[in-house]
Amino acid sequence: MGAAVRDLAGNEIADVQRLASAQPRLPTAEHSRFLQLRETAYEALIHDSPQAVDELTSAYRNALQNAHLRHDEPNWTWSERSITLATPHDRVTRHVIALLTSTDLGQLHQCEDAACGWVYLDTSPRRNRRWCSAADCGNATARAATMPATEPTPRRPPTDGGDRSLEPHQDQCRGLTRRPSTEATSPSVCMPACLA
């Protein structure tokens, strides 16, 4: 799915920024919709929530109302009729539904590091990958297994000076980007890079 996600092109970014500056309250509302889409996708993809699937289905119907099929040799692809502040949300919604209905869904896996919980597509040859990133979560798990139980597990310091959960791990997510959850109880999710 990650490779199929098309980020906004330069001119589309400029259009969205222009629209956002013309209507200052709408970007905040769209950002909230994006966060809700991410959480709904997590519930549908990981927990098989019928309610979340219904919400995605509704969002998908709305996204299709704003799009049309365009022939890009040799395939047909969805394209927006016009760029709006909802364009990124609509694109991601179409890709989440594509994943939900694809045979790739069986490759979806959640990181086994208890402190992580991020989601990725396991494209390893044996489909036995355990962590989103062996270099981060895999090493942390191995270190924890060899340390005495009384010592806290050290974590690699974040590169941005902030919380570890904000650090992206695109190398192992195969085109997906980690996004931290807005709630402390929900894990972060690897999502298409255009999901902000």
DSSP state of 96: H
Say yes or no to pLDDT of 181 above 80.
no
CA angle 142, 146, 148 (to 5 degrees): 135
Q: What is residue 75's predicted lDDT score, i.e. its pLDDT?
A: 92
What pTM value is reported for the model? 0.66
CA 173 to chain centre: 10
pLDDT (mean) for 174-192? 46
CA 127 to chain centre: 20
For residue 93, give both structure tokens.
């919604």
Q: Which domains does the chain have, with CATH numbers?
A: 2-192 (1.10.3300)
> For the chain, how big is the Rg over CA atoms in Å?
18
Sequence length of the chain is 196
Q: What is residue 178's predicted lDDT score, i.e. its pLDDT?
A: 46
Give dist(CA 119, CA 129) in Å, integer.
12
